[in-house]
Structure 1
Amino acid sequence: MTANRRFKRRVRARAAKTGESYAAALRHFRTTPRGEPMPKNLRLSVAQLEIQPDPGDTAAVRDRGEQIRHLMREAHAARARLLHLPEGALACPSKRVMSSTGPDTIGPADWGRADWPTLAAELRAIAVLAGELRLWTVLGSIHPLTPPRRPHLSLYVISDEGRIATRYDERLLSNTKVSHMYTPGSEPVTFSVDGVRFGCALGMEVAFPEVFLEYERLDVDCVLFSTHGPGTPLNNGPFALQAQALAAANGYWVSYSGTAQDAPNASAGVISPHGDWLTRCPADPLTALATTDLDLDAENHGRPWRRVARSGLYTRYQAPNDPRSLDRAGL
């Protein structure tokens, strides 16, 4: 017990010195199951992938599964520990393809047309390969709920043991998605790989800073943002710009995974805690992969300072009773 109290004091002392949370400071003292220090970096691959709009097209679903497995082998060859794929990587249902009122109008989605057995089989095959390659794999697909509830639009997190470790369901949906297509999710999701803590975001959630601030409070090192994107130069580019701004504002990495179709507007890549692109796929409408290292030893003074500022630091410097401060119209 004495040793345990001493260890906790060391962790708290580091947290107080750096402005980190207790959980963040703890990672600097953890070791692997073999007693070795936790790695200080993690190699991440991010992909852009051509998506297909009909989850009822069995051949297309199988082709997407094979494409994903090809990218997994590429990421493994690049010595990545985690592969991040876009929204709808396995199936990205089109609102017009799925509309029960026909492609000329947007109506309630007909989920009876989805080939759920093939989707499940391809997901199992991806999980098996993840275990064989010892590669964490995060990919977008649809997750069925009990009828008549609509499915979730989800990110599956598959561990390097070949199991679904967790799943993130998009929470802040577009009007069409929530009105006609999906059931929204209800909570953030985090997971850790080799001591690096990840959060998940999906779809258009980059337009909601509160989602990313919530992950800062949950002490993530990197947010994996998967999107299909609106798909036009006027609308899709800002998703990438917003991802850059949110990475810098929160002081963590953001992995941006979009579709190959939208790569000319916003190609996939990884953004540093300073808001710079560390790596990026080519801006061509082709399936591609980019790989970089997340270095946890890199200096990041901004994030702990913002935590201190948000803690109420400035209240001691305010002058609430000074008449010159209260006079908003005076010189």
Structure 2
Amino acid sequence: MRLSVAQTTVQPDPADTAALKECGRRIRALMREAREAGARLLHLPEGALSCPDKRIMSTTGPDDIGPADWDRADWTTLAEELQAIAQLAGELRLWTVVGSIHPLTPPRRPHLSLYVVSDHGEVVTRYDERLLSNTKVSHMYTPGSAPITFTVDGVRFGCAMGMEAAYPEIFLEYERLDVDCVLFSTHGPGTPVNNGPFALQAQALAAANSYWVSYAGTAQDAPNAPSGLVTPDGDWLTRCPPEPTAALATADLDLTPENHARRWRRRARSGLYTQFQAPDDPRSTDRASRTA
């Protein structure tokens, strides 16, 4: 199956109606470009539709980071843009995974999420970031609680986001859930943005779990870590240009080779080694001492 992974400029203020509409327009342009490239799925970064800045959102900021003021967010425009994205996904028959914020009933803070939009134009599931940064969980968001998986043309996907590349257990969990590819969307650890470590971790996690990892970062961070697709061997198959502009990288996920490494790791974790383990003979220490 053919996948496109994007990098795009994210906007920091969810109260800026014009900026939200521009983000929606930019996303839809990338959707059309991905479909022209033959993609069945487009993967976008964290906050592609809205990526709130902690200093803009802080009720006590910008110098002192405090609780986020979510009343200022333009939830109506966010919903309208998401609906327009879903409608176009149906028209293009293109699965689209897009980052945004998801409102909860006040006073609960929103989730930071990835919406999974099917090729029928429906939001079929949503991944909410679970392992948040200190600022995110203290002042901004409600953490998610579960992994999600979905299947496109026989390829099974999982989702991760934010700083979750720093937590191997998230990716090992998806290996146990038998995914073929993890879609990892991120924004970066602040200003100046530098996602180089996250991109490196994405490579390591792909190799350690023997599955594909799609890495979607922001255009702002492309000079450090352009978006791209990592093979189950941990190699970059394709990447966007290292320039701070919107771009796509498109490639086919090849699932035909037999994945011997993944099968062996599963066997090794199943208790295989127990049969070979035995308590040491205490006399062996005495013999070693006498020999010395």
Which bracket does the TM-score occupy, shorter chain normalised? over 0.9
SS class of match (1:52): coil
Q: Decide which of 197, 201, 207 is 2:166's aligned counterpart.
A: 207
Tell me how far 1:254 sits from its aligned partner. Answer: 0.2
Aligned to 1:110: 69
| 1:156-175 superposed matches below 5 A | 156-175=115-134
2:44 matched to 1:85? yes
C-alpha distance in structure 1 between counterparts of 2:283 and 2:211, whole Å: 39
SS class of match (1:167): strand
Aligned to 2:237: 278
**Structure 2: stretches of 5+ with no match in the other structure:** none
SS class of match (2:253): strand
2:260 matched to 1:301? yes
2:106 matched to 1:147? yes
Task: State the Cα RMSD in Å.
Answer: 1.7
Change (3 A) 1:320 1:235: farther
2:181 matched to 1:218? no
Aligned to 1:45: 4
Q: Which runs of 4+ in 1 moved over 6 A?
A: 324-327
Tell me how far 1:232 sits from its aligned partner. Answer: 6.4
C-alpha distance in structure 2 between counterparts of 1:259 and 1:59, whole Å: 19
C-alpha distance in structure 2 between counterparts of 1:236 and 1:45, whole Å: 20
Query: How many percent of aligned residue pairs carry the same amino acid?
Result: 78
SS class of match (1:45): strand
For residues 37-87 of structure 1, the C-alpha deviation after alignment (integer angstroms, 9 at most, x for no partner) is xxxxx1000000000000000000000000000000000000000000000
What TM-score do the two structures reach when normalised by structure 2? 0.96
Change (3 A) 1:44 1:324: farther
2:58 matched to 1:99? yes
Tell me how far 1:326 sits from its aligned partner. Answer: 8.0
Letter in 2 for 1:266: A
Tell me how far 1:134 sits from its aligned partner. Answer: 0.2
Aligned to 2:251: 292
Tell me how far 1:189 sits from its aligned partner. Answer: 0.4
Change (3 A) 1:326 1:78: farther
Tell me how far 1:322 sits from its aligned partner. Answer: 3.2
Change (3 A) 1:117 1:234: closer
For residues 304-327 of structure 1, the C-alpha deviation after alignment (integer angstroms, 9 at most, x for no partner) is 010000001111112323338889
Across the two proteins, how many residue pairs are aligned to each other?
289
Aligned to 2:280: 321
SS class of match (1:109): coil
What TM-score do the two structures reach when normalised by structure 1? 0.85
Q: Decide which of 166, 171, 177 is 2:136's aligned counterpart.
A: 177
| Conserved 8 A contact 2:193-2:221 | no
Letter in 2 for 1:183: T
| Conserved 8 A contact 1:62-1:118 | yes
Change (3 A) 1:254 1:233: farther
| 1:230-249 superposed matches below 5 A | 230=189, 236-249=195-208
C-alpha distance in structure 1 between counterparts of 2:255 and 2:145, whole Å: 30
Aligned to 1:127: 86
| Conserved 8 A contact 1:320-1:326 | no
